[in-house]
Amino acid sequence: MLKRLSSLYIDQQAEDILRCFAIRSRLDMPSVTVQDAGKVFEVVSSADDPVQKGKETLFLTRNKGAFIRECPGTRDYTCCGYKILHIGTFCTMDCSYCILQSYFHPPVLQYFVNQEEMTAELDQMFLEKKVCRIGTGEFTDSMIWEEMTGLSDLLVPKFSEQSHAVLELKTKTVAIENLKRLRHNRKTIVAWSLNTEEVIHSEERGTASLSARLRAAAKCEAYGYPLAFHFDPMFIYDGCEDAYTRVVEKIFSYVSADNIVWISLGAFRFMPSLKPIIQKRFPGSKIVYGELVPGLDGKMRYFKPLRMRLYHRVASRIKEIAPDIQVYFCMEDDEVWEKCLGFLPSDRGGLARMLDESAIRHCKLKPET
């Protein structure tokens, strides 16, 4: 991450926070103090490629809203009841399909330094003693911040001290060395977003290779961490079914099925506003030209029979190798569940309950009393 930054801005309201001093010292680069985010947004927006400029421009600031948020699902598709720990925004890696390119206006690499407020919210959540799955990888990659902030030093031991919540760190990096020395008590799941070799090579600039991600997963398993994997987004192209099943088989050549908390599947979907950004920034990409139709949530999705065929093939291969692993779909409807997995989430108490129970088994969580 440090090599990819070209500019550092510091919010005047945050510059006296001790963590801000520590990060600035590690970066060892000139900084500009601004009264508010407007100046940073102006600089990024005026660039020829605002998305790329946003990836190179770090803004240290305060989170003025809630740190703990509900996953922004939709009523039309089954949501997993996940919670988001909002540590910052955007990413230094450059995936063609990344929704964050159009989600933020403009996209800016922000890191929130007022972490005393974050820990206070976590303490309040822990007091509720309810099973909770929470992750930092919704609006950013969980691990790009490690070299600069050592955020895991704060979060992993903190989660280890309680018994009802599990933290998921989701990444496409291999920045896991710091995790080796931390007390985790299996209350942190280390997760990787995976794709086929072809997709990683063509659509995921600046990310770790598939083999490197799986080698890192094997290391984390050796450190005692539970693991998870996310095939999201999945792409339909000639030979994709065989390619995704090869990735599935490769997972189990590196790590034990017994240590995997869950594997999710989700097909490529995007708001129409993302299409021109992909076309401009990735002119060689073909991902927006597939058999796509508007979904119930307004996002463009692959024609349902096509994505169900891919889901069924991949889910079946996972179950052949590891029948007990919790496989689930991200943002799909009952028809997809029934035809691809043979049951509805409601048959088993709902998707949130299914995932809670898997977390309880693998992460030594206490059920709600």
Strands 94-95, 132-135: pairing is unpaired
Residue 158, pLDDT > 80, answer yes
pLDDT level of residue 1 (50, 70, 90 thresholds): low
Asked if residue 274 has pLDDT above 70, the reply is yes
Give the closest residue to 310 by CA, choosing from 342, 357, 345, 266.
266
**Proportion of the chain above pLDDT 70, given as a percent:** 98
If you average pLDDT over residues 7-29, what whole number do you get?
91
> Does residue 6 register a pLDDT over 70?
yes
Q: Which two tokens stand for residue 366?
A: 């206490």
Q: What is the mean pLDDT of the chain?
A: 94
Q: Which residues pair with 134 in a beta bridge?
A: 83, 167
Band the pLDDT of 306: cuts 50, 70, 90: very high
Mean pLDDT, range 38-45, rounded to an integer: 94
- Sign of the Cα torsion 321, 247, 221, 268 reads negative
- Give residue 75's pLDDT: 62
Query: What is the predicted pLDDT for the residue at 73?
Result: 65
Q: What is the pLDDT of residue 208?
A: 98
Pairing assessment for the beta strands 109-112 and 57-61 based on DSSP bridges: parallel
Place of tokens 């099943």: 245
Fill in the DSSP letter of residue 78: B
Q: With CA atoms as reference, report the closest residue to 332 among 287, 366, 299, 290.
A: 299
Q: Compute how many other C-beta atoms are within 10 angstroms of the C-beta atom of residue 237.
A: 14
Mean pLDDT of 335-349: 95
Q: Is the pLDDT of residue 351 over 90?
A: yes
Per-residue pLDDT, 81: 80
Strand pairing class (68-70; 32-34): unpaired
User: Quick one: tokens of 99?
Assistant: 């929704």
Residue 296 binned pLDDT confidence (cut-offs 50, 70, 90): confident
Give the mean model confidence (pLDDT) for residues 62-82.
82
Q: In this predicted model, which residue has the larger pLDDT, 238 or 298? A: 238
pLDDT, average across residues 171-178: 97
Alpha helices in the chain (DSSP H): 18-27, 38-45, 50-56, 100-103, 115-127, 146-149, 151-160, 197-203, 210-222, 240-254, 275-281, 304-321, 334-341, 351-363
Is the C-alpha dihedral spanning 99, 101, 103, 108 positive or negative? positive
> 199, 211, 215: which is closest to 268 by C-alpha?
199
CATH for 65-363?
Answer: 3.80.30.30
Residues of the chain with pLDDT > 90: what percent? Answer: 87
Distances from the Cα of 224 to the Cαs of 208, 277, 317, in angstroms? 22, 41, 26
Averaged pLDDT for residues 279-301: 94
Q: What per-residue confidence (pLDDT) applies to 104?
A: 79
Look at residue 79 and tell me whether its pLDDT is greater than 80. Answer: no
pLDDT tens-place string over residues 80-131: 888 999 999 999 999 999 999 988 778 899 999 999 999 999 999 999 999 9
- Asked if pLDDT for residue 176 goes beyond 90, the answer is yes
Which tens digit of pLDDT belongs to each residue from 205-258? Answer: 999 999 999 999 999 999 999 999 999 999 999 999 999 999 999 999 999 999
Q: Give domain limits for the chain.
A: 65-363
What integer is the mean pLDDT of 63-85?
83
With contact defined as beta carbons under 8 Å apart, do 236 and 267 qualify?
yes
